[in-house]
Structure 1
Amino acid sequence: MSEHYYTREPQTASDRKSLTAELRGFKLQLTSDAGVFSRDGVDYGSRVLIEHMDIPADASVLDLGCGYGPIGLTAARLAPRGHVTMVDINERAVSLAAENAKRNGIANISAMQSDIYAAVEGRRFDVILSNPPIRAGKVVVHRILTEAAEHLNPGGSLWIVIQNKQGAPSARAKLEEVFGEEQVEEIGKDKGYRIYRAKLV
């Protein structure tokens, strides 16, 4: 079985690639690499999430499963008085995220390796963003959803993007179970991708 991006230490030989992406009006110069998610360009699901996410200017944000950083770096641009913590299990991805922040002059971020929420235990955020690692399996994806509430400030929101065919209906049901039906909303949809926001009251 070939290695995939949900790997702590990718063994795939490095093969770095430079990308330019315009996200929410910000032009980002990004470096990606083999062994990380969506190496050849910002994937469509992440773009849909980025277009819809609402980030207060002073928000404390967690980008969970940050990859090489497009979601978190855009969030940091949208929250100039806030801070974005970017985490991923993949150490190569974390290194790239930090490098890409530096390359784009984005200082209000920190990047660290973390198995889901392990590295931010005890911390709470105003916003959690995730394009969850579907290939890691349903157990991992549902842990991201169920444990989010423990890591949000009151009034804070979890934003996720997930494809219909990759489990959007069951993800929504899980969010409603955790946050309450009234607090879960479909904010947008595009080409089979669904953006859900779950609010902690």
Structure 2
Amino acid sequence: MSHYFENDENLNHDIRKKEIFINDIRFEFFTDRGVFSKENLDFGTRQLLKRIKVKPNIKTAIDMGCGYGPIGIYLAKMNPNAHIYMYDVNSRAIDLAKKNSEINQVTNTTIEKSYLFEHVVVNADLIITNPPIRAGKDVVYDLYEQSYLHLNQGGSFYCVIQKKQGAASTYKKLVDLFSNCVIVAKEKGYWILLSKKA
């Protein structure tokens, strides 16, 4: 079985172009087999992008685990003066994200393959993620810890996670890391969490 957080070179392609509205803004996205939520934008990501508040003075943001790019491309479109760095371990997802950045006419993105923050050389004012829960708790917690290290002082970290997939333990982990965590919203079992680096 193929997972979206792994590379499966043997997986047949099924590239499709989708029209997706995010907060009433129209986007087009190419999707394919082997990437997360290929049929439509998932509910958790929708809630995350509905609730996130981006400071007007941010210069850099990181979309970790970008998949085919909806989070990073939305951030880039809505914050043209910021530069959005998008990373994923999945080569197919990275190729799609690059293509989707082009068709949505955003030029303020850098999209690169990376296992978590392995190849990340920047720090950011904002890090946002819909973490790869199926990759396991150790991977997800590594993502949180590395996010803390790559945030600028005063920076914000947002994530979305289902209650049944460990929202309460993620909340505790973020409090331990950041000394703060706010539950921004709870919607149909999904928690939107925000921590700030003091």
TM norm. shorter chain > 0.5: yes
Q: How does 1:157-168 map to 2 (within 5 A)?
A: 157-168=156-167
1:124 matched to 2:127? The reply is no
Conserved in 2, the CA contact under 8 Å of 1:10 and 1:35? no
The percent identity for this pair of structures is 36
- 1:185 equivalent in structure 2: 182
1:156 matched to 2:155? The reply is yes
Aligned to 1:148, the other structure's residue is in SS state helix
- 1:199 equivalent in structure 2: 196
Per-residue Cα deviation, 1:108-130 (whole angstroms, up to 9, x for no partner): 11110000001114x21000010
1:93 matched to 2:90? The reply is no
- 1:27 equivalent in structure 2: 26
Superposed CA RMSD in Å reads 1.1
Conserved in 2, the CA contact under 8 Å of 1:3 and 1:10? no
How much does 1:9 deviate? 4.4
How much does 1:25 deviate? 2.8
Q: Which amino acid aligns with 1:72?
A: G
For 1:10 and 1:41, the matched residues in 2 are separated by 23
Instruction: Give the TM-score of the pair, scaled to structure 2.
Output: 0.96
Paired residues, number: 197
Moved over 2 A (4+): 8-11, 56-59
For 2:9 and 2:73, the matched residues in 1 are separated by 23
For structure 1, the 5+ residue unaligned runs are: none
- 1:175 equivalent in structure 2: 174
Conserved in 2, the CA contact under 8 Å of 1:57 and 1:78? no
1:108 matched to 2:108? The reply is yes
For 1:58 and 1:81, the matched residues in 2 are separated by 8
Report which stretch shifted further, 141-150 or 63-72: 141-150
How much does 1:8 deviate? 3.1
For structure 2, the 5+ residue unaligned runs are: none
Conserved in 2, the CA contact under 8 Å of 1:10 and 1:90? no
